[in-house]
């Protein structure tokens, strides 16, 4: 079974019990209650294979649901949700993230890690200098980028941001048990 995007060839260990976002329900399509789904998985259709799907709720929780149908349309999927049969009912599901519990994802292979595992890790250089903690990732057209909030402050007193491309050349090791990612990058 395929899963969310996995980066390869980097040492790794560990896992946790949180929700992992696999995509996003966008707007309603047509009058029969279909929604456009943007998949973050690789391959994109892998999001449809999970049975433990949850949608984000407006109050910050997660609501279990199932797809009752899906078809490809360009870069998106048109999906139907069980129990949702018209446009008005589907509108309540628009703009919600789709996730699964981390525990249902297959373990990453040797030298692989899930991109979702990077936020919260301490970032250190190959020379052992602490850069800070990975705050979040930014998806760019070329590749994902880790945003590291630095241990040192910028001129305005805010934590310094260092943006590190998540590519093999710069991400040299991920140790989830130690809570650390080793990067070949210097503070900017």
pLDDT digits (tens, 9 = 90+) for 130-186: 999 999 999 888 889 999 998 766 677 788 899 999 999 999 999 988 999 999 998
Q: Which residues contact 120 (CB under 8 A, 6 or more apart)?
A: 133, 134, 179
Question: What's the structural domain count of the chain?
Answer: 2
For residue 111, tell me if it sits in a domain. Answer: no
CATH code of the domain in which 71 resides: 2.40.30.60
- Domain residues for the domain of 179 are 118-183
Q: Which residue has the higher pLDDT, 110 or 162?
A: 162
Residue 16 has pLDDT above 50, yes or no: no
Q: How far apart are CA 78 and CA 73, in angstroms?
A: 7
Q: How far apart are CA 168 and CA 79, in angstroms?
A: 35
| pLDDT recorded at residue 12 | 31
Q: Which residues contact 169 (CB under 8 A, 6 or more apart)?
A: 184
| pLDDT recorded at residue 6 | 43
Residue 28 has pLDDT above 90, yes or no: yes
Asked whether 37 and 80 are in contact (CB, 8 A), the reply is no
| pLDDT recorded at residue 150 | 87
Name the pLDDT band for 46 (thresholds 50, 70, 90). very high
CATH code of the domain in which 122 resides: 2.30.30.240
End-of-domain residue from the set 104, 139, 157: 104
Q: Does residue 85 sit in the same domain as residue 44?
A: yes
Residue 105 has pLDDT above 50, yes or no: yes
| pLDDT recorded at residue 133 | 96
In the chain, the N- to C-terminal Cα span, in Å, equals 40
| pLDDT recorded at residue 188 | 63
| pLDDT recorded at residue 111 | 75
Reference 70, options 101, 90, 47; nearest CA is 47
Residue 120 has pLDDT above 70, yes or no: yes
For residue 110, tell me if it sits in a domain. Answer: no
């Amino acid at each position: 079974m395929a899963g969310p995007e996995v980066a390869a060839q980097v040492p790794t260990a560990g896992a946790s019990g949180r929700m992992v976002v696999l995509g996003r329900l966008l707007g309603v399509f047509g009058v029969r209650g279909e929604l456009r789904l943007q998949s973050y998985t690789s391959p994109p259709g892998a999001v449809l294979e999970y049975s433990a799907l949850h949608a984000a709720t407006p109050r910050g929780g997660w609501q279990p649901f199932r797809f009752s149908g899906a078809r490809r349309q360009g870069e998106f999927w048109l999906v139907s949700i069980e129990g949702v049969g018209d446009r008005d009912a589907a509108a309540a599901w628009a703009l919600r993230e789709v996730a699964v519990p981390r525990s249902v994802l297959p373990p990453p292979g040797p030298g692989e890690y899930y991109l979702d595992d990077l936020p919260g890790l301490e970032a250190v250089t190959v020379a052992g200098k602490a850069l800070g903690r990975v705050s979040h990732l930014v998806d760019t057209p070329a590749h994902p980028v880790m945003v590291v909030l630095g241990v040192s402050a910028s001129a305005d007193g805010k934590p310094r941001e260092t943006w590190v491309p998540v590519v093999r050349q710069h991400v040299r090791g991920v140790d989830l048990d130690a809570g650390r990612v080793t990067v070949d990058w210097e503070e900017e």
